[in-house]
Amino acid sequence: MKFLFITATMIISTVLFNGCSMHQNNTSIKNISSIEFSPITISTNETEKKTMRVSKKLSVKYTDGTIKNYKLSYKNFLKMGDKIGLNTIGLMTDKNGNSLKNLDGSEDISIAPDGNSLINVAKQSYLITHMEESPGSIYKTEVTVANGRLEAINTASIDFSAMNGTIVNCASTKTTYGSHLSGEEDYAFNSIYADKNSPFFIDCALDGSGSDTQGVLNEFCYSIDQMSKYLGKRDLDKNNGYNGSEFMLYNYGYTIEVQPQADGSTKSARHYVTGKYTPELALMMPNQKTIYMTDDGIAKGLWKFVSDDKIKEFQAEWSGTLYSAKVDQVSAVNGGSFKLRWIKLGHASDSEVKKMIDAKMKLTDIFSITKPDDKGNCTTGFRKIYEDDKMECLNLKKGRKKEAAFLESRKYAAYKGATTEFIKEEGLTYNVDNNKLYVAMSTIEKSMEDNYKGLEPRNDIKLEKNSCGAVYELTLDTDYSATKMEAIVIGRALNATDMYADEWYCSPEKIANPDNLLYIGHNTLLISEDTTKHVNNMTWAYNTKTKKMTRIASLPIGAEVAGVDKGIVDNKAFLFLNIQHPFKDNPEAQDNSKPNSKLIEDATDEQLKAIVGYIDGIPAEVLQ
Amino acid sequence: MLYSSILLIFIVFSVSANSINKHQYISMLEKHNHISYSKIVNSRGIYTVPMCYAKTKDKFTHTVSNSCYICHTKGSRPNYNNDASLQQKYSFPIQMIKNPFLNIFKDHKKEIKKIDDKMILKYVRDSNYFDKNGSITLSNVLPNKWKGYVPDCYFNFDADGFDKTLKGKYTLWRAYRYYPVAGMFWPTNGSSDDVMIRLSKVFSKDYGNVFDIDVYKLNLAIVEAVVKQKDISLENPVNEKKYGVDINQNGILDIAKIVKLNSYEKMSYVGQAKSLLNKKMIHLALGLFPEGTEFLHSVRYLDWNDKEKHVTMAAHMKELRYAKKKSWKSYSDLEREARKELYENNTVSIFRGNYEEGLRNEMGWVYQGFIEDRDGLLRPQTHEETISCMGCHSHLGSTTDSIFSFTRKFEGTEKKSENYGWNHWSQKGLIGVKEAKVYYENLGTKFEYSFYLKNNLSSSAFRNNTEADKKFFTQKKQLKRSMIQKLHNDISLLLLPSKERALKLNKAYKVLVTEQSYIYGRYANIETIQNVFDNFNTSTTTGIIKPIIRR
């Protein structure tokens, strides 16, 4: 004991002496009892609004009662278009890995870095970074620590040609065994638009312009054109659900797994068994069997996959059962609380689902579909469902349950009575200290309001509108199955006479439109925003025990917080936090005016660049 | 008072370069005109134009008019904007649902009556661009450290349309004739205008870095072929050996009579610009102007030529508009910018910049302008007034590198021909100009203006130009075939108003000048406009089922 104490004291003095130098000695680890970020102020002047500000200090309290303070700062790590080693990060490529050059010879560089995972394999460390694009793209950047800073050695886009590419890679998590899970947040490829027998069919020109045959730009046609560009083929059959020799609409909108290997190569797989919808991300539970997925957009579901066996390492083939949540509202107060049940949709393996896709199926092979009549009713034999902000009348075809479960997960979930009334489900994170799961609901409105549009067939969720959003806590049973859902942190829209109402729509003392969530241990849940309702998007540290909220980052105006992840390289900790689209969004005040337009107007081209960066100075022991 | 006397001092004594500072100058203008240079007084959303609020469904005839396609269409690469859906629905951000252009709801008949014909004719014939000594008033008045454009065009054009200073030096501005954009830019609907182009200086230098007007001329023809993405005939044959560029793309250096379109890699500028292109210091891409290109566009009152009995361009400017391509944007940059519209919520657009240096669009251009002060002298536009430039010069599918007129430039190479391209309107006017033909997707090739009349069922977006409508439509709103036949041979029949209408339009606009109320709309309406929404709900549709797509 005495010896240990002396060692610890020595280490503390060393740290203090070094002016909070970063290198921690593993042998010295003492138990941490709590951590506390110093709060940053609400931006008031132009400089504060325009700059990236993070907590200046992290106080770490140890079980022996000692407190150490660590100096924090934000470090820009890289930006899209940087040449790293032989390649350019963010460069969009086709199926063969060639730069997607335009007709003027220009290269296409992504401006939308999103999910990050810092992954250690053998002695190497990699930063996996998403491009939220159509086609999608994920870069793997080898990193190292030099002179106390993270440095990129080389980068390359991960080859997804074997799975015919990926799309809109949004948020990410790491599995328990250290691989990367990516959500293919695809909004466009709802099969109702692709099937000629569907009343929602869109007739695309397929000329690469993203337009329909009338010449009108359309998101569905644009996404189809972009994927064709990636695949280098335009042989799509409009009479058969736009299926082509390589493009199949049912191939996109799942969870992608990426695992860097010790030999420098990368393994990847698309896990079809997690279901097709608009996955923001997927999160594996410690039992290595249960995985939760969120679904972004209006009128969406909440998803759970339970693997047949433990998944202990990367494997291309998963098999298990897919479930969709059904909520019973208990209370409508403060963001509401719900009982949760799970409706079983089906059991399959990845290869089984892949086979169905390769058979070039389309919606009406699975469901008959019509639109509700003027009164909102469906003809006999059809069930009315609400998904993706559309009312549809569906009739499941015989023998198509499995296809429905995995290729039309949201439709089938709604068809079977699950709740598809969530809106803009975003981040997911797990609290290992109390076995809770957290889900960010960007906003509470529309499909989460009481009988939105007066047409909701189920109306499971009946909440009051709160356009500032909420973070929900899900209580898990011993099987990691969620049984209860309750709002724990909610935003508040300001009233006209409130303080701050002249510049802020949502109270700056509370969250607005939460997005990325990351539980970093020590009862600390990081909540990051993607909002136009705060002057600056912020990251908050929420103490899950004391309920205390601390502002720890305030981004340049107009930027969204993205790619929040923690990782350790060379015993040095990094808390990643991307500055996405700075000076682009124009924040609104309580009266919907935009009092900071001038700042947005004054932005220079340099200020408009997206940054991948990290909070520096957190000791490794805190993020371990 | 203070303002006038200071200005007088400038003019009378020709004070060398403008001794008051910017702050004094701007605050003087603010006081004198009761305007604000930095504040948004009406709306940040006035980048739209009043025509965007036009009612397309006719209350009485139940017909549907489409003038929307003139601006809102599928762009041609590298204009990746496709706003054709705006032909179908009034898609405004919530803040713009109420029509901010209050001026169009005003009846100006009373004020118009107070202005007599002689007075307005004198007004429009007085130049507000030049002072009595022939020097450019604004260049004397603008403060010393003015960061924006300082007018430097002398409107003194030689036979080739090149502008020269009073001492005969080339300013590099070159005027051209073009088909005015259908509807809004027809003099019969309010104003006359002209456009000049200027390439950056390097385009006028030979390989030895020496000025050569032939090099400049040839570069302008190359830029025309590149931007229009078509072959362009040269006025005089060019010896390719002199320039070392295969201009006619026939594989050998010989005598070229045309600039032949080819891929961007096969084409080149000539002279110093070629050297810079090879060093990748400037760019060449089809459909895009090289960096440094400038445009000058004066919008003017309507004058009456007593001798020839038709409307002409007045000396007095309503506005002087200026654009410069400040930075290069590749196809990839442009495509990304355009596609962002798919995902961005319907919010009021933001244009970066300020009134002095201009506002930037996503294509690398800066737009800036001067407009009449209450006394009719040109002053810089305020920030809010400058926003008015940006709707038309940013996200539209109808422009080429955000410019309207250049792809509409006449291509005639014979100086005597009605369609000779390189002249100012004052050298050769609209009379006798034949109608252009345009290809529309799924519809084929059509006479452009006749097609507009047919689809819009009127000669103006608001369907309030009774004079032209009477000329071209029967009482039952049928197009008069005989008039359409005549129109094919002479567009001035449609484009030029009568003297009476011209003077009324001048007066109607003069009312806005006195009011300095441009931020509430600059449209010269004689009376209250009827076919327009003052407010509407977001589900209102235009009734246009099939959008018209120009190729």
Using one digit for the tens of pLDDT, what is the confidence trace for A568-608? 999 999 999 999 999 999 999 999 999 999 999 998 878 98
In a domain? residue B534: no
User: Rounded distance, CA A363 to CA A241, Å?
Assistant: 7
pLDDT at B12 over 60: no
pLDDT tens digits, B116-160: 999 999 999 999 999 999 999 999 999 999 999 999 999 999 999
ipTM of this complex prediction, to 2 decimal places:
0.91
A chain contacts of residue B95, beta-carbon cutoff 8 Å: 592
Q: Are residues B159 and B307 in the same domain?
A: yes
Q: Which amino acid is at A356?
A: M
Nearest CA in chain A to B343: A219
pLDDT at A240 over 50: yes
- Going through B287-400 in order, the beta strands assigned E by DSSP cover 294-305, 310-325, 353-354, 358-360, 365-372, 378-380
Contact A109 B84 (CB under 8 A): no
pLDDT at B8 over 70: no
Higher pLDDT, B14 or B233: B233
- pLDDT at residue B340 in the model: 83
User: Rounded distance, CA A134 to CA B458, Å?
Assistant: 43
Residues 79-98 in B contacting A (C-alpha not used; CB under 8 Å): 80, 82-85, 88, 94-95
- pLDDT at residue A283 in the model: 98
Q: Are residues B258 and B313 in the same domain?
A: no
Average pLDDT value over all residues in chain B: 94
Bridge partners (DSSP) listed for residue A137: A131
pLDDT at B379 over 60: yes
- pLDDT at residue A606 in the model: 84
This prediction has a pTM of: 0.92
- pLDDT at residue B2 in the model: 45
- pLDDT at residue A20 in the model: 36
A chain contacts of residue B327, beta-carbon cutoff 8 Å: 605
Q: How far is A237 from chain B (nearest CA, A)?
A: 22
Q: Are residues B267 and B174 in the same domain?
A: no
Q: Are residues B146 and B218 in the same domain?
A: no
What band does B497 get if pLDDT is binned at 50, 70 and 90? very high
Q: How far is A186 from chain B (nearest CA, A)?
A: 12
User: Rounded distance, CA A265 to CA A587, Å?
Assistant: 43
- pLDDT at residue B172 in the model: 98
User: Rounded distance, CA A484 to CA A477, Å?
Assistant: 9
Q: Domain boundary residue among B230, B245, B278?
A: B278
Helix (H) or strand (E) holding B243, with range, is helix B240-243
User: Rounded distance, CA A113 to CA A400, Å?
Assistant: 38
Percent residues over pLDDT 90 in chain B: 91
Bridge partners (DSSP) listed for residue A84: A87
Tell which residue, A183, A369, A370, has the closest CA to residue A277. A183
User: Rounded distance, CA A530 to CA A561, Å?
Assistant: 6
- pLDDT at residue A453 in the model: 83
Which residues have C-beta within 8 Å of that of residue A444, sequence separation ≥ 6? A335, A336, A423, A463, A464, A465, A466, A467, A469, A470
Q: How far is A213 from chain B (nearest CA, A)?
A: 10
Q: Are residues B53 and B180 in the same domain?
A: yes
pLDDT tens digits, A356-409: 999 999 999 999 999 999 999 999 999 999 999 999 999 999 999 999 999 999
pLDDT at A2 over 50: no
Residue A497 CA, distance from chain mean position: 35
CA atoms within 13 A on the CB side of B189: 21
* Order of strands across the sheet that contains A560-569: A73-79, A611-616, A572-580, A560-569
In a domain? residue B541: no
pLDDT at A10 over 60: no
pLDDT at A4 over 50: no
Q: Please check whether residue B494 touches A, CB under 8 A.
A: no
Q: How far is A111 from chain B (nearest CA, A)?
A: 9
- Give the pair of three-digit tokens for residue A54: 């993070």
Q: Are residues B483 and B346 in the same domain?
A: yes
In a domain? residue B284: no
B chain contacts of residue A222, beta-carbon cutoff 8 Å: 339, 342
Q: Are residues B193 and B269 in the same domain?
A: no
Closest CB to B336: pick one of A104, A111, A214: A111
Nearest CA in chain A to B347: A586
User: Rounded distance, CA B172 to CA B178, Å?
Assistant: 19
Closest CB to A217: pick one of B78, B85, B94: B85
- pLDDT at residue B341 in the model: 77
Domain range holding B217? 206-278
Q: Domain boundary residue among B244, B278, B312?
A: B278
Q: Please check whether residue B77 touches A, CB under 8 A.
A: yes
What band does A609 get if pLDDT is binned at 50, 70 and 90? confident
Q: How far is A454 from chain B (nearest CA, A)?
A: 18
Find the mean pLDDT for residues A59-84.
96
Q: Are residues B436 and B402 in the same domain?
A: yes
Number of compact structural domains in chain B: 2
Residues 319-348 in B contacting A (C-alpha not used; CB under 8 Å): 327, 330-333, 335-336, 339, 341-343, 347-348
- Give the pair of three-digit tokens for residue A72: 């924090």
Q: Which amino acid is at A603?
A: A
In a domain? residue B244: yes
pLDDT at A5 over 80: no
Contact A586 B82 (CB under 8 A): no
pLDDT tens digits, B326-356: 999 999 999 999 988 777 768 889 999 999 9
What band does A224 get if pLDDT is binned at 50, 70 and 90? very high
- Give the pair of three-digit tokens for residue B134: 């022939």
Q: Are residues B354 and B413 in the same domain?
A: yes
Q: Are residues B242 and B194 in the same domain?
A: no
Find the mean pLDDT for residues A451-477.
95
In a domain? residue B532: no
Q: Please check whether residue B539 touches A, CB under 8 A.
A: no
Mutation to test the B interface, candidates A170, A213, A601, most B Cβ within 10 Å: A601
Find the mean pLDDT for residues B174-188.
97
Whether the Cβ atoms of residue B93 and residue B395 lie closer than 8 Å to each other: no
What band does B35 get if pLDDT is binned at 50, 70 and 90? very high
Cis bond before residue A587 (omega within 30° of 0): no
A chain contacts of residue B328, beta-carbon cutoff 8 Å: none
B chain contacts of residue A109, beta-carbon cutoff 8 Å: 332
Closest CB to B74: pick one of A209, A602, A603: A209
Find the mean pLDDT for residues A522-543.
98
Q: Domain boundary residue among B278, B306, B322?
A: B278
Q: Are residues B165 and B190 in the same domain?
A: yes
Q: Are residues B221 and B342 in the same domain?
A: no
Residues 95-134 in A contacting B (C-alpha not used; CB under 8 Å): 102-109, 111
Contact B84 A601 (CB under 8 A): no
pLDDT tens digits, A109-153: 998 899 999 999 999 999 999 999 999 999 999 999 999 999 999
In a domain? residue B286: no
Mutation to test the B interface, candidates A104, A202, A594, A596, most B Cβ within 10 Å: A104
User: Rounded distance, CA B333 to CA A41, Å?
Assistant: 36
